[in-house]
């Protein structure tokens, strides 16, 4: 049993896959966290542009 555990601990198969899963999860989490701020900023910008364009005289 001890020998099987040591063999399992030494093998690195699948380690790259785990690294990619963790990296992708981190990227998705950061994008999800920043989405609210980006959406708010875009709506504020479009609202300001709309106000400016509606009051501008040509």
Alpha carbons 23 and 30: distance in angstroms, whole number? 11
- Residue 4 has what pLDDT? 83
Give pLDDT, residue 8: 74
For the full predicted model, state whether its pTM sits above 0.75.
no
Q: Describe the chain by its helix, strand, coil percentages, rounded to 5.
A: 85, 0, 15
Comparing 56 with 40, which gets the higher pLDDT? 40
pLDDT single digits (tens) 5-54: 787 777 777 777 888 999 999 999 999 999 988 999 999 999 999 999 99
> Token pair 């709309």 is at which residue?
50
For residue 51, the model assigns a pLDDT of: 92
Q: What is the pLDDT of residue 31?
A: 92
């Amino acid at each position: 049993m001890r020998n099987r555990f040591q063999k399992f601990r030494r093998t690195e198969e699948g380690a790259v896959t785990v690294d990619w899963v963790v990296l992708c999860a981190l990227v998705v989490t950061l994008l999800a966290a920043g989405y609210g701020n980006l959406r708010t900023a875009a709506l504020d910008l479009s609202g300001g542009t709309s106000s400016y364009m509606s009051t501008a005289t040509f």
